[in-house]
Structure 1
Amino acid sequence: MRFLNGESPIDLDFSHLVVAGWTGRDQKAIAHHIDELAALGVAPPSATPLYYRVAAATLTTAPRIEVVGTGSSGEVEPMVVQHGARRFLGLGSDHTDRALEAHSVALSKQVCAKPCAAALWPWEEVEDRLDRLVCESWICENGSWVAYQAGTLASIRPLAELAAGAGLNVLGVDGPVAMLCGTFGAIGGVRPARRFRMRLSDPDRNRAIGHEYETIVLPEVA
């Protein structure tokens, strides 16, 4: 995959993809997200945080993804990339099959592509102010974009702590590694949408990384 690191392209052939779940710093926020998903029939996690392993090939910068059925939805998340001794910050969506999630969270994450923005920021450029960075998402409903998620990275466990917990340095021996780092509660509740827009903003430098994608629904044949 090709990303832009500032003005320079960087080609990454990912060896591993990790999806960190239940990563909130605020235990009340974690409980809210657990309750939110429990309403959809999802069992609570065995521990927090959890590090799900997903096929690296599911990560994509494409503007369209295909899913089976109408029960999937996106989640905006910061994305940590480990490439050798270097680390970068990007943006991704943990697009998840909600119907399958009630059966197995791990499988629900595996079956969906993971859209991400085609830009990365060098870790050293943002490391000192990660908590001030803002993640937001919007979904298109009835022809209009509506706010779906919003929060600062201060709501998520420190990204360096998550990277250590997932063992990114160890996994990185095999090649570049990406990790999606957790999300925020959905405004108005978790729900599907055909179009999803997300943004990671750095207010101190007045810059942002963004991505938008469309979900193509394939028929669910029994």
Structure 2
Amino acid sequence: MDVVFSIGNTRISVTIKSVVVAGWTGRGIEAVRHHIDELAALGIAPPSQVPLYYRVSNALLTQSETIEVLGDGTSGEIEPLLIQVGGRLYFGLASDHTDRDLERHSVAASKQACAKPVATPLWDFEEIKDHLDEINLKCWIEENGREVLYQDGTLAGIRPLTELCVGADMADGTVILCGTLAAIGGVRPAKKYRMEVSDPTNGKAITLSYDVRTLPIIS
């Protein structure tokens, strides 16, 4: 499938050949343990190793402002995105929306169950690689009729992105979602998400917003 991105004022159509979701990518044992404990509270078993790389369908990538999910047990999370095009690496923003109910039975299946919203803008990785740890990630959700901060941190909390690329076997057309940050108040569903990755060095930002439409579970 082809996805259209923008690099500065230039729009490019990229043929997606592989989508990888990296999990358990916290930098340092404390960050990993926190995420394991966070998901254990939802009944999700710990990983066999860290990090893990889940392959999902290319068709899950979407730039739609609304995604449809089955039931009330799903949630999104902000993630840095990397994509290789023409031998060059680019940085973007995505949400690893996941079925948390299904995750109790199979993390791999839960990753495949939901669309993965991605932002259109990309940054040249070469322009940011020397100050990656300073780049900030924030996610807000709508809760009880108001917007609340759900995730907040920097890339210093995630394993080095170049290290994650090695594990994902990057090639032209490969997309990798590189992991996330702890949720403020715990992992939980929401109907609206707003996300932003910002670079304090150059003042640039990439934003991503989407709504969640819940489909009924019929038995």
TM-score (norm 2): 0.97
Aligned match for 1:139, one of 122, 141, 153: 141
User: In the alignment, which residue of structure 2 is the partner of 1:204?
Assistant: 201
Between 120-129 and 87-96, the greater mean CA deviation after superposition: 120-129
- SS of the residue corresponding to residue 47 of structure 1 reads coil
Query: Equivalents in 2 of 1:208, 1:146: separation in Å?
Result: 20
Letter in 1 for 2:15: D
Letter in 2 for 1:197: R
User: In the alignment, which residue of structure 2 is the partner of 1:194?
Assistant: 191
Query: Equivalents in 2 of 1:2, 1:165: separation in Å?
Result: 25
Identity between Structure 1 and Structure 2 (%): 55
Aligned match for 2:155, one of 153, 156, 174: 153
TM-score (norm 1): 0.96
- SS of the residue corresponding to residue 57 of structure 1 reads helix
Query: Equivalents in 1 of 2:204, 2:168: separation in Å?
Result: 28
Query: Equivalents in 2 of 1:11, 1:150: separation in Å?
Result: 31
User: In the alignment, which residue of structure 2 is the partner of 1:77?
Assistant: 79
RMSD: 0.7
Residue deviations 1:101-155 (CA, integer Å, cap 9, x gap): 0000000000100001111001111111111111110000122110000111011
Unaligned runs of 5+ in 1: none
Residue deviations 1:11-57 (CA, integer Å, cap 9, x gap): 11211100000011121111011011001110000000000000011
Unaligned runs of 5+ in 2: none
Displacement over 6 Å in runs of 4+? none
User: In the alignment, which residue of structure 1 is the partner of 2:62?
Assistant: 60
Number of aligned residue pairs? 217
- SS of the residue corresponding to residue 43 of structure 2 reads coil
- SS of the residue corresponding to residue 17 of structure 1 reads strand
